[in-house]
Amino acid sequence: MKVRRCRGAGFALHWGPAFRLGVAALVQITSPAFKQNAARALADAGLQKALGKAKGAFLQRRAEAVARLPEFEALRDIGRDIKNHTLANLDAYLETYAANVERAGGTVHWCSTAEEARAAVLGICQRAGARTVTKGKSMISEEIAVNDHLEAHGITPVETDLGEYIIQLRREHPSHIIAPAFHLNREDWEADFRRMHTDLDPNRVFAERRDILTEARTKLRERFLAADVGITGANFLIAETGSSVIVTNEGNGDLTQTLPRVHIALASIEKVVPTLEDATSLLRLLARSATGQDFSVYTTFSTGARRPADLDGPEEYHVVLIDNGRSNMIGSEFQDMLRCIRCAACMNHCPVYGATGGHAYGWVYPGPMGSVLTPSLVGVDKAAHLPNASTFCGKCESVCPVKIPLPKLMRHWREREFERHLTPSAVRSNLALWAWFAKRPGMYRAATRAAVGALRLIARGRGALRSLPLAGGWTEGRDLPVPEGGTFMSRYAKQQRGR
Per CB under 6 A, contacts with ligand SF4 among 11-30 are none
490 binds other proteins (CB under 8 A): no
Compute the distance between CA of residue 35 and CA of residue 41 in angstroms, rounded to an integer: 10
| Cβ nearer to other proteins, comparing 11 with 298 | 298
Contact 261, 315 (CB under 8 A): yes
Choosing from 124, 285, 329, 343, the residue that interacts with other proteins (CB under 8 A) is 329
Nearest to 229 by CA among 270, 198, 195, 265: 265
| Cβ nearer to other proteins, comparing 189 with 365 | 189
- Among positions 271-310, residues that touch ligand SF4 (CB under 6 A) are 289
111 binds other proteins (CB under 8 A): yes
- Among positions 307-346, residues that touch ligand SF4 (CB under 6 A) are 340-346
239 binds other proteins (CB under 8 A): yes
Compute the distance between CA of residue 78 and CA of residue 402 in angstroms, rounded to an integer: 8
Compute the distance between CA of residue 146 and CA of residue 152 in angstroms, rounded to an integer: 10
The minimum distance between CB 182 and ligand SF4, in angstroms, equals 14
Q: Give CA angle at 32 (30, 34), nearest 5°.
A: 80
CA-based R_g, the chain, Å: 25
| Cβ nearer to ligand SF4, comparing 106 with 367 | 367
Contact 158, 222 (CB under 8 A): no
299 binds other proteins (CB under 8 A): yes
**Binding marks (x or -) toward other proteins, 250..289, rule CB under 8 A?**
xxx-xx--xx---------x----xxxxx-xx-xx-----
The listed partner (ligand SF4, other proteins, none) that binds 251, CB under 5 to 8 Å by sort, is other proteins
Contact 266, 232 (CB under 8 A): yes
87 binds ligand SF4 (CB under 6 A): no
48 binds other proteins (CB under 8 A): no
Contact 390, 352 (CB under 8 A): yes
114 binds ligand SF4 (CB under 6 A): no
Contact 276, 330 (CB under 8 A): no
Task: Give rounded-to-5 percent helix, strand, coil for the chain.
Answer: 55, 10, 35
Length of the chain (residues)? 499
| Cβ nearer to ligand SF4, comparing 120 with 372 | 372
| Cβ nearer to ligand SF4, comparing 179 with 369 | 369
Binding window for ligand SF4 (CB under 6 A); candidates: 14-22, 302-310, 386-394, 395-403: 395-403
Nearest to 366 by CA among 11, 12, 41: 41
Residue 315 corresponds to which amino acid? E
Compute the distance between CA of residue 160 and CA of residue 224 in angstroms, rounded to an integer: 8
Compute the distance between CA of residue 80 and CA of residue 401 in angstroms, rounded to an integer: 8
Compute the distance between CA of residue 9 and CA of residue 31 in angstroms, rounded to an integer: 19
Nearest to 296 by CA among 372, 239, 235, 350: 235
Choosing from 14, 171, 210, 460, the residue that interacts with other proteins (CB under 8 A) is 210
| Cβ nearer to other proteins, comparing 72 with 418 | 72
| Cβ nearer to other proteins, comparing 241 with 374 | 241
Cβ-based burial of 81 (10 A; exposed 0-12, middle 13-18, buried ≥19): middle
73 binds other proteins (CB under 8 A): no
The minimum distance between CB 54 and other proteins, in angstroms, equals 4
Binding window for other proteins (CB under 8 A); candidates: 13-21, 194-202, 301-309, 445-453: 301-309
The minimum distance between CB 364 and ligand SF4, in angstroms, equals 13
The listed partner (other proteins, ligand SF4, none) that binds 378, CB under 5 to 8 Å by sort, is none
| Cβ nearer to ligand SF4, comparing 25 with 369 | 369
* Contact residues: ligand SF4, CB under 6 A: 289, 340-346, 369, 400-402, 404
